[in-house]
């Protein structure tokens, strides 16, 4: 399969699973423990992908002796950019539901608040404003566009089969993360009183953002001509920094503040890192040793 077809397949899978995530509250009652386990696993996976795939490939694509320094600078820029987005928009509230807002406001992390039978269709509480979802959607929208750039960049990194194999780790990290993001948006919209049609439209729009970012970068970077390899290397390093920030911002609150599930969450986190490392085993020998 060509890199272009594989990228389209990746984008379709991400969009479909993101759509499913937005509908998830209507189908499944995601308990507190289940949600935190998924978040910890994905955090480990994203951290592993950043260090084992994105950063090494960024360095390998640059022929200059300063390749590591350049990649390190762009990794830091990506990390700081994502940190500022997190602070500005306060997104990644994956474990949010209207009936639990007061629990999270008081940081009662030692209580599995989802386990008490509270249903996701509970009436919206007064503190959830009708437009509260906008900041969340803007933050997650920018974040998912960066995810798309990461996918497009890693698929551009090497031609043919090599690109497809190198894209697996990034693809899985995004694929498993998008449903939680979509669920956050639709849950807060429901709490704010938005009807089913409005939630569906927002869900569809969000689901298309990551594929849009991936396709635009993949097909647009060739317009840069001789600077193409440098642009791809920079995008990979920037994405690595963003992935690291996302992983740690999701991980630290869950592992450190949920003492009742600390063992499970730590194991899930380590399993994500191990999967990211194992994905390297399906890459051809010397995958990160070819410069631009």
pLDDT of residue 212: 96
- The number of CA neighbours under 13 Å toward the Cβ of 278 is 9
pLDDT of residue 277: 92
- What is the Cα–Cα distance from 141 to 130, expressed in whole angstroms? 19
Q: Average pLDDT for residues 58-63, to the nearest whole number?
A: 86
47 vs 36, which has greater pLDDT?
47
Confidence of residue 264 (pLDDT cuts 50, 70, 90): confident
pLDDT of residue 104: 43
Considering the chain, what percentage of its residues have pLDDT values greater than 90?
Answer: 35
Q: Average pLDDT for residues 80-98, to the nearest whole number?
A: 70
Structure tokens of 210?
């990551």
Structure tokens of 254?
């869950």
Structure tokens of 91?
């997104």
pLDDT beyond 70 at 85: yes
Q: Average pLDDT for residues 194-205, to the nearest whole number?
A: 89
pLDDT beyond 60 at 290: no
- What is the Cα–Cα distance from 53 to 74, expressed in whole angstroms? 15
pLDDT beyond 80 at 109: no
pLDDT beyond 60 at 236: yes
39 vs 218, which has greater pLDDT?
218
pLDDT of residue 181: 85
Structure tokens of 63?
């022929």
pLDDT beyond 60 at 271: yes
Cβ 46 vs Cβ 212: under 8 Å? no
Confidence of residue 125 (pLDDT cuts 50, 70, 90): very low
pLDDT beyond 50 at 110: no
- What is the Cα–Cα distance from 245 to 43, expressed in whole angstroms? 10
Cβ 71 vs Cβ 233: under 8 Å? yes
Q: Which residues of 239-260 are buried (b: 16+ CB within 10 A; e: fewer)?
A: bbbbbbbbbebbbebbbeebee
pLDDT of residue 13: 96
Q: What average pLDDT is seen over the chain?
A: 78
Give the range with max mean pLDDT: 88-102, 198-212, 241-255: 198-212
Structure tokens of 288?
């990160």
Q: Average pLDDT for residues 232-258, to the nearest whole number?
A: 83
- What is the Cα–Cα distance from 79 to 126, expressed in whole angstroms? 35
Confidence of residue 220 (pLDDT cuts 50, 70, 90): very high
18 vs 37, which has greater pLDDT?
18
pLDDT of residue 98: 40
pLDDT of residue 91: 58
Q: What angle do CA 15, 228, 73 make, to 5 degrees?
A: 85
State the DSSP code for 106: T
116 vs 44, which has greater pLDDT?
44
Considering the chain, what percentage of its residues have pLDDT values greater than 70?
Answer: 71
How many other C-beta atoms are found inside a 10 Å radius of the C-beta of residue 94? 21
DSSP string, 79-109: HHHHHHHHHHH----TT--GGGHHHHHTT-T
Q: Is the dihedral of CA 30, 31, 33, 36 positive or negative?
A: positive
Residues for the chain: how many in total?
A: 292
**Nearest residue to 183 (alpha-carbon basis) of 47, 61, 39, 6:** 39
Structure tokens of 29?
């009652």
Q: What angle do CA 117, 33, 87 make, to 5 degrees?
A: 110
Three-class DSSP category at 193: coil
How many other C-beta atoms are found inside a 10 Å radius of the C-beta of residue 77? 15
């Amino acid at each position: 399969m060509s890199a272009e077809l594989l990228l389209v397949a990746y984008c379709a899978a991400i969009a479909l699973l993101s759509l499913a995530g937005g509908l998830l509250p209507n189908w499944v009652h995601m308990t507190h423990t289940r949600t935190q386990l998924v978040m910890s696993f994905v955090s480990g996976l994203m951290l592993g992908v950043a260090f084992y795939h994105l950063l090494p490939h960024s360095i390998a694509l640059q022929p200059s002796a300063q390749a590591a320094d350049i990649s390190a600078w762009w990794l830091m820029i990506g990390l700081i950019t994502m940190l500022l987005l997190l602070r500005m928009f306060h997104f990644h509230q994956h474990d949010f539901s209207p009936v639990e807002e007061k629990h999270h406001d008081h940081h009662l992390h030692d209580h599995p608040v989802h386990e008490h039978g509270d249903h996701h269709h509970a009436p919206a509480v007064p503190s959830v404003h009708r437009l509260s979802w906008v900041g969340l959607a803007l933050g997650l929208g920018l974040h998912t566009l960066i995810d798309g750039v990461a996918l497009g960049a890693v698929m551009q990194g090497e031609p043919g089969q090599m690109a497809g194999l190198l894209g697996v780790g990034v693809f899985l990290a995004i694929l498993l993360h998008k449903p939680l993001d979509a669920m956050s948006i639709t849950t807060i919209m429901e709490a704010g009183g938005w009807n089913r049609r409005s939630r569906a439209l927002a869900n569809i729009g969000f689901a298309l953002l990551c594929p849009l970012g991936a396709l635009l970068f993949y097909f647009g970077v060739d317009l840069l001509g001789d600077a193409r390899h440098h642009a791809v290397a920079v995008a990979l390093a920037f994405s690595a920094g963003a992935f690291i920030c996302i992983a740690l911002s999701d991980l630290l609150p869950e592992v450190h503040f949920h003492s009742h599930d600390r063992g499970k969450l730590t194991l899930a986190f380590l399993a994500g890192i191990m999967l990211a490392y194992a994905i390297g085993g399906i890459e051809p020998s010397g995958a990160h040793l070819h410069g631009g």
